Structures are given as structure tokens and as C-alpha cells.
A and B are shown apart, each in its own frame.
Chain A
Amino acid sequence: MDARVLDQLQVANSLQLLQASGIDLKLMCLLDEQWQVAWCSAEHPDASIEDQIAEFRSQVQRGQDSRARLRCDIAGGKVALCYCQADEQEQLAFSVFILANQLTDEQARLVDLVCGNLENEYQLNAELEFMASELGERYDELNMMFVAEGGASPAMFGFESLVKLVKDTSESLDVGMTGLLIPGKGIEHFENRWETQEPLLPGMSRFIRTQALQQVQDGRSIVINQAADQARYGLYSPFRAKLIITPLTGGTSHAIGLLVAINDGASRDFSNSDRNLLQVMASRIDKVLHVNFDPLTGLENTQSFEWAVGRALSGVRSGTCKAALMNVDLDRFSVINSAYGREAGDLLITQVADLLAEEAGTRDTVARIGADKFGLLLTDASQEDAALVAEKLRRKIARIELGPAEFQHMVSACIGVTSIDEKCHTVAETLTMVELANKAAKEKGVNRVQEYQETDLNLASRRGEHKWVGQIFDAISKDRFVLFVQLIQPIKEQAGLPHYEVLVRMRGEDGEILPPNKFIPAAEHYRLMPDLDWWVVKHALDQLSELRQITGELEGIFSINLSGQSLTDERLQYQLFLALDDIGDMASKIVFEVTESAAIANMVEALDFMRKARSFGCKFSLDDFGSGLSSFAYLQSLPVDYLKIDGSFVRDMARNEVSRSMVSAINHVGQVMGLTTIAEFVEDAAIVDSLQRIGVDYAQGYHYGRPRPLREVCDELVAQRRVVNG
């Protein structure tokens, strides 16, 4: 028992109590479990006392009872009493030794009582000590969970953050060695605080990899404190070490790796508490794995890949290694996805991921960097080496079989390849190079490998495109975009409110207004359209809400363009729904324009999004109808209210019979389906005349006016309202 408990006993009080009752007390001692004097009423007790204590001790041990009261009458009328107190484990805890002159029965009873109280006090103190230490342990556990939560941030990517977590684990658990092993990802890291045990590592790592991983597939941790524990779990290691082995899932349904705490065989046993703490750290590692790795394929994700490219880039610049990069972009993936369903799409993705992983060496990085896009970073490879690997991959991917026989040749990929050289300055630039090569491959068709060539004019002109990326981000953050609107005029007698299409322009750094054809292609190419679209939606709705506050009701219908990328962007959609919810019934005056090709390319997502958005009251307009695949069958399945006839037919309809019939046919189908039709590019009165004869509902074009700033139009609408209200 803890000596503290004995020290806490208020023996002096007991002594006073006994003395006050008239007992002629010569001596009172408190003896610990070793029969050593822990406290004594006399400063210099007589040496003969020790002999008497020894005598009592032998009597107690003969009696084999650690809880006893012994009385001994000594010559000269003195009485010695010894009370032995046991703890719960039936071990001697302490004894009280008392030497007194003659005791009456009553006084003897009082001594019994006082010693009984001391025992109670001792037990309570012992219990308190236990509770305090247990509380301390639980507190530590909680504290560590808390620290673990705030530890390595997911903003650190890939391996680096994992290493930090393993180090934290090692320190918090105070163990000799902590290991992180994820065989599928080539991750093996030991935090070794022993230093002397280094030669153990390879064997230990093999033991953990080959045996332990199978034993934790049920998700439970294993604690091994004794050799017998190992056999119980079917493990056979040559080490006399204590282990806790906790599975890592990385967000998947099975164990993909292990977090292991290892202590010397002679150290304290691992407790359940240690195991709980290790599990907390494992779940933290799982989170990092989840953030850095794609759950479907187990490959690294974009963030993690960019981090790896950055590392390769600094290696190349310092001259320590060379590296090459490729990106693999599946052809027609969206078609495959919508034709065979998401499951088939996922299956294809995992098959391609497996092919890439096979091709990659242990020091290479394979990542899934988009829905249908993969990145492969090859270390110690030149562009030529990479091109060979790419060619091999292209052939393998084209041989993947999927779905019914007639679609056998649907699977293929375009692969862009580049070396990473000292001319690359940033990760973004490096990724742009390989992206451009890929884009060039796609332009030439499907199933191709294209190496990046700086001299390629076609590529070089695109290189300019990526300069826009920074511009666009900057313009979004500094609100350098400006909203314009163009009137959509009702041309049928019974047509309703005027419509306006909201358009976006960029204000250049010198204040000049830049048309969309300058920046939209770059925004599309670098997938910035959702950001841009959201800027437009947010600012348009803000301005229109303001207008409604002044005019009471919105005197017009406003349509806002949404790109194909936005139709599949969950974040944008979430924000959009919140915004629609905010504006309440004004949503009925808002129309979203989506192009036919965007809607069809992402049919499933587009349908889902459109249905949800319409539930807020807004409407949809199908833009550029007639320009793309123009299937009337698709038109039937899309929940749209407006049909915008592609401007190229409208512009030509006065001169070209075919164009006029196209406009007429589209309008007819639209009308039959109950849609409101809108003709774009209406440049003169002759076209208006033709449209009216055909029966088109609305017309939009220079004939009715060029796009004007939304602010200006809002001001006008406010003024009109004032005139009406008089």
C-alpha cells in the first residue's frame, strides 16, 4: 500500500483522545506493513520496544491472521496491545502498537474503538487514493483524446502528417516504439525511441505485416502482454515484446494497415486504457488517410498528389533526382456512367486504378485526381521513360472489357506526359503542362498518348490560358466581375413579363471591361466555373432582392447561366439551394439556363439538381438548343420550362431556308411540349417578323439592345415604378 495513506492517518488525534480519557499511555506507535515504525508518540522510544514488536509479530504470523488484536500483560502492570489491520487483499496494511499502565475494561473498549476508527480512516483514505489515481488516469486519457483532435492538421498532406501522428502517439503513450504500416500504400514508418533495438526492425515489420494484419480484420485491437497472449491470437513472433495492434481502415470497410505500439518485454503491461488511446490515434490517422486518399480506389487524392509533385519538384531543382509526370483521362466516362450506371463506372475506375498501381514502382505515386482522371508521378524517370509507360498503360486500358459486346471498345484513355525539369517553377505550372499535353491528346481524338512539347504552338497558346487562372481567382475575391443583362423581349401578343438574361463581364486590372470569351474558356478548362457561377448567382440574387425591396415586386424574369461543371458540383448546389431558400417566392422569377450538351453529359446529376432546384420555385431554360446532339428524346426527360433556340439558326433564318425550318421545327416541338420558346441572336426586324409568323414567344438580340449593366437596368425599373405609382 501507498505509504501516503498511512501518513495521512490522524494518529495524533487518537493519542490525545486516549490520553484525555485518563489512560496512562506510555507509548503509541503506528507500524507499516513491514513492521517498521511509521509514527511514534515518543521521540526516542526505548530500544526494548523493538523486541516487543518483534514478539508480537511472530505471534501474529504464527496465528496466520493479519487481522488481529493481541494483548500482553507485562511485568509491572504494563499492558501492550497490538492491532493489526488488513486491506482488501487480506494483506497486512498497518498495525497500532500501544503500551500502557493497567487498563480497566472500559478503557480497553475505548482503545478498541479508537483503533477501529483508525482502520476505517485508513480504508477511506485508501479508497480515496485509488479513486484519485483512477481519476488521474481517465483525465489523462481524455486530455490525450483532446490533444489528438487538435494535433496534426489535415492541411498537412500525405506522409508528412502521418509521421507527425505516429510521433505524437509514441510520446503520448510513452512506448519504446510505434509503427505505422499500410502495405497497400507502401507506407511503413517506425518511431523508435530505443535506439539500441534498431536490428529488430526488419523482423518486427515482417511479423506485423505478414501475421498481425490478418488478425485485426474484424476491426478489434489486439493486446499482447505475455507470450500466451500471442498464441491466443494465432500470432507467433520471435520477440519478447509487449504489443498493442490496432487496425486502420482509412475510411474503408476493412483493415488496410496497422498502428502498433511496442514496449520492451520487461516493461509494464499494456492496459485497456493504453489500447483505447491507441485507437483514438488510429482513428485520427484514418481521418488523414481519408483526407489524403481516394476511398474508392485507395489511391492518393489530388491534394496528396500535388504534395508529392511538390516534393518531386524540389528534388529535381536541388539536382537530387529526376521525375516525370503523366495524367490519364478516361474517354467518354460520363457516357459510360450514364449508360451503365454508377456501379459500372466505379468498377471501371477501380480497374484502371489497379492497372496504374501495377505499373507504379514503390517510390512512384499514383493518384486519382478527378472523377475520371488519374495522375502518375514517376521518380527517376525521363519523359521518354514515362512515355513508354504511358503507351503501355494506354494499351492495357483499351483492353478493359465492360458491359455488352457492342460497347467493348468504349473504354480508352488519353494520357498526357511531361518530365519535371528545372524550368518548372510551381506545382500548378507543372500540373498545367501535363494537363495541356492531355488536352492536346483529347483534341486529336480518343485513346492517345501525348508528350508535352514546349514548342508546340497549339500548346503554347494555351499556356496563356493558365495565366487567366490567377486573374479569375483574383477577380472573384475582389469582386472584379460585373453583371450585365440583355433584354429578352416578348413578341407574342399574349406573352408576359419581359425577361432578362444575366451575363458576366470581368473588369480588368486597369478598369477595362473584358468580354467573357477572354476568361470563360480558362475558367472551364481549370474547372473554375462553379466558383464563377456562384459569384454570379450570389451577386445577381443580392441585387435583385434589393430591387424587390424597393419596387415591392420584381417586374421581370431573370435568367442566370449555369455551366455543366456546376451541374455536378455539390458545393455550389448546396450554396445555391440555401440562397434560393433565402429569397422565398422571388425564386419564381428566377430561371437557370443550362446548355443542352452540359445537361446531357451529366444527365443523372443534372436531372437530380434540376428537380431539387425547381422545388424552390425557380425554372429552367435549355440553352443553345439545336447546336449539339439535339435529341428531342432528351428534351422530353429534362424538366425545363423554356427552350432557347440556338442563335446560329436564328441569325441565318432570313437567308437560309434550312435554318428557318430548323427554328420552326424546334419551336413547334417546344410549343407542343408546353415550353416557352426564345430565339437568340435576333439582329433585325426581318427576323422578328419571321419569328412572329412561326410563333416563337420571345426574342433576344441586338435588335432589342445590347447587354447593359444590371445596376443600370435596376435603376430604370425603380424609376418606372415611381412613375407608375405617380
Chain B
Amino acid sequence: MKRRILIADDQRHVVRVMSQALERQGYQVEGVLNGELALQRVREQHPDVLITDIEMPRMTGEELCRQIQAEMPDREFLIFVITSRTELEHREWSSSIDNVMFLEKPVSIRKLISELERYFESTASAVG
């Protein structure tokens, strides 16, 4: 089974570049352009990983995370939050969200891929 990754970013080129790279790694990738659409997709089907930007129309990444946390307190999938600032600046609100990691912009695709690999390896070994 291919791992499913949902990308939410209002910049099409970011979605495109990430999707291309992650699909090459064998992941099944879907991209949406705002937080609202992301939430809708997550409700329909949990991805294995959600990658989301912070600044987005309709629903920001922060709101999306809070909403997911409220609706699905037992969710297992990881959320990568992509920020244009340092992690420290998001520490406060993110402290109430489980299983969330931060990636700084500009995102290094190589770093993203290795983080994903590491994450999937750790969950695979935790399960089996």
C-alpha cells in the first residue's frame, strides 16, 4: 500500500514541486490549495501524513491543526507544518497539538524526504 500524503499550500508551485518529488519517492500525493479543503479531505479519509502551510486563505494552517486536534483527538497521522519562521515562534499554539513537526521555508525537499522516511520507519517498527 502506498503511503498517502496530503499537501495543503496556497502556492500552486509549492504543491507541484513537493508532489512531484514525493511521487517520485513512491508516495501517493494529493494537493489542496487551502485549509478548508484540507480539512474536508482529512475528514473523508485520513492521510498518512499531512503537510500544511501556515498562511492560507479560508483556513490557516494553525486553524486547520486546531480543528483536526478537536475533531480527531486520537488521530495517528503526522502533521508537518511549513513555516516561514522558526519553530520557536509557533511553540505556544502548537503545544496543544499532538504529533506535529515543523519544517522551515524554504523547504529542502531532500530534508523533507528524509524526515518522512525516518517517520515511516519509526512508525513501521512501532507497529510491527
> Which residues of A are at the interface with B, using a C-beta cutoff of 8 A?
88-90, 123, 126-128, 130-131, 134, 137-138, 220, 223, 229, 232-233, 271-273
A134 to B86, CA, bound (A): 19
Taking the nearest CB of chain B, how far is it from the CB of A598, in angstroms? Answer: 52
Partner of A89, one of B10, B86, B89, B106: B10
23 pairs from A and B in contact (CB 8 Å cutoff): A88-B11, A88-B12, A88-B33, A88-B34, A89-B10, A89-B57, A123-B12, A126-B12, A127-B12, A127-B16, A128-B13, A130-B12, A130-B13, A131-B13, A134-B13, A134-B106, A138-B106, A229-B89, A232-B89, A233-B88, A272-B84, A272-B85, A273-B106
Contacts of B34 in A (CB 8 A): 88, 90
Taking the nearest CB of chain A, how far is it from the CB of B111, in angstroms? Answer: 13
Closest chain B residue to A229, Cβ basis = B89
Does B104 belong to the interface (CB within 8 Å)?
yes
Given A272-B84, A272-B104, verify A88-B13 contact (CB < 8 Å). Answer: no
Query: Among B86, B104, B105, which residue has the most Cβ atoms of chain A within 10 A?
Result: B86
Contacts of A223 in B (CB 8 A): 85-86
Given A134-B106, A223-B86, A232-B89, verify A90-B57 contact (CB < 8 Å). Answer: yes
Contacts of A130 in B (CB 8 A): 11-13
Contacts of B104 in A (CB 8 A): 272
Contacts of B106 in A (CB 8 A): 134, 137-138, 272-273
Partner of B58, one of A90, A138, A229: A90
Closest chain B residue to A91, Cβ basis = B57
Taking the nearest CB of chain B, how far is it from the CB of A319, in angstroms? Answer: 53
Q: A-B pairs with the 6 shortest C-beta distances?
A: A88-B10, A127-B12, A131-B13, A90-B57, A130-B13, A127-B13
Taking the nearest CB of chain A, how far is it from the CB of B80, in angstroms? Answer: 16
Contacts of B85 in A (CB 8 A): 223, 272
Mostly, the A contact residues are helix
B: contact size bracket: 10 to 19
Task: Give a binary string over B1-20; 1 marks a CB under 8 Å from any A CB, 0 the rest.
Answer: 00000000011110011000
- Apart from A128-B13, A131-B13, A223-B85, list 16 A-B contacts with CB within 8 A: A88-B10, A88-B34, A90-B58, A127-B13, A127-B16, A130-B13, A131-B17, A134-B106, A137-B106, A223-B86, A229-B89, A233-B88, A272-B84, A272-B104, A272-B105, A272-B106
A138 to B33, CA, bound (A): 23
- Docked-complex contact B57 and A88, CB < 8 angstroms: yes
Contacts of A233 in B (CB 8 A): 88
Closest chain A residue to B9, Cβ basis = A88
Contacts of B12 in A (CB 8 A): 88, 123, 126-127, 130
For chain B, residues 49 to 81, give those with C-beta under 8 angstroms from any C-beta of chain A.
57-58
Taking the nearest CB of chain A, how far is it from the CB of B108, in angstroms? Answer: 11
Contacts of A271 in B (CB 8 A): 84
Closest chain B residue to A141, Cβ basis = B106
Task: Give a binary string over B81-119; 1 marks a CB under 8 Å from any A CB, 0 the rest.
Answer: 000111011000000000000001110000000000000
A133 to B85, CA, bound (A): 19
A130 to B13, CA, bound (A): 7
Taking the nearest CB of chain B, how far is it from the CB of A214, in angstroms? Answer: 15
Contacts of B84 in A (CB 8 A): 271-272
Contacts of A137 in B (CB 8 A): 106
Closest chain B residue to A130, Cβ basis = B13
A223 to B57, CA, bound (A): 25
Taking the nearest CB of chain A, how far is it from the CB of B53, in angstroms? Answer: 11
A233 to B89, CA, bound (A): 9
Taking the nearest CB of chain A, how far is it from the CB of B89, in angstroms? Answer: 6
A128 to B16, CA, bound (A): 11
Contacts of A126 in B (CB 8 A): 12
Closest chain A residue to B33, Cβ basis = A88
Contacts of A88 in B (CB 8 A): 10-12, 33-34, 57
Taking the nearest CB of chain B, how far is it from the CB of A567, in angstroms? Answer: 46
A233 to B86, CA, bound (A): 11
A130 to B34, CA, bound (A): 17
A126 to B89, CA, bound (A): 30
Contacts of A127 in B (CB 8 A): 11-13, 16
Contacts of B89 in A (CB 8 A): 229, 232
Task: Give a binary string over B27-51; 1 marks a CB under 8 Å from any A CB, 0 the rest.
Answer: 0000001100000000000000000
Taking the nearest CB of chain B, how far is it from the CB of A126, in angstroms? Answer: 8
- Docked-complex contact A232 and B10, CB < 8 angstroms: no
Closest chain B residue to A223, Cβ basis = B86
A220 to B87, CA, bound (A): 12
Taking the nearest CB of chain B, how far is it from the CB of A125, in angstroms? Answer: 11
A229 to B16, CA, bound (A): 32
Taking the nearest CB of chain B, how far is it from the CB of A638, in angstroms? Answer: 51
Query: Among B12, B16, B58, which residue has the most Cβ atoms of chain A within 10 A?
Result: B12
